[in-house]
């Protein structure tokens, strides 16, 4: 029983997942720091402190009391989600995509150069075959196979 547990824990999938969770938690702290320390103060500077958590409405219930629905908490959470998503996109995804596109360009040039070399080598091979075929018919012998 313990051997099976040991095999399960030492599998690559479990270790990779554990590392991903730890890195995700650390990255979450970085993104929250960016939103709380830079984006929210910038928004507050531009339009004032956006706090929607106080928005609510009350509905009377069957016991004669009122039930409070604080929909402002939901609005605040949606705004925070959008700000965090924008921070991840503009400060992480866009720069990484730019770096990846810069790295792909030299590879494409190498592939194009390799394709041109293949075309030239194919033309040289065809010319050599044509020359050896022409020489073989003149002397009456068949040329040795090429390639």
12-39 pLDDT per residue, tens? 677 788 888 999 899 888 888 888 888 8
CB 71 within 8 A of CB 57: yes
The per-residue pLDDT for range 80-111, each reduced to its tens digit, is: 888 888 888 988 889 989 998 888 765 555 66
pTM: predicted TM-score of the whole model, two decimal places: 0.51
Phi, psi of 58 (to 5 degrees): -115, 145
Helix, strand, coil share (%) of the chain residues, nearest 5: 75, 5, 20
Per DSSP, the residues of 129-146 read HHHHHHHHHHHTSPPPP-
What would the two tokens of residue 121 be? Answer: 């080598």
CB 53 within 8 A of CB 70: yes
Q: Which of the four pLDDT bands, split at 50, 70 and 90, describes residue 115?
A: confident
């Amino acid at each position: 029983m313990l051997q099976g547990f040991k095999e399960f824990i030492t599998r690559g999938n479990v270790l990779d997942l554990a590392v991903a969770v730890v890195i995700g938690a650390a990255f979450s702290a970085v993104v929250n720091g960016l939103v709380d320390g830079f984006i929210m103060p910038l928004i507050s500077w531009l339009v004032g402190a956006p706090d929607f958590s106080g928005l609510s409405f009350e509905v009377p219930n069957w016991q004669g009391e009122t039930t409070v629905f604080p929909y402002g908490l939901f609005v605040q959470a949606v705004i925070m989600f959008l700000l965090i998503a924008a921070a991840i996109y503009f400060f992480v995804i866009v720069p990484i995509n730019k770096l990846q596109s810069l790295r792909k360009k030299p590879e494409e040039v190498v592939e194009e150069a390799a394709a041109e070399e293949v075309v030239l080598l194919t033309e040289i091979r065809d010319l050599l075959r044509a020359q050896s075929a022409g020489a073989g018919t003149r002397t009456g012998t068949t040329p040795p196979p090429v390639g």
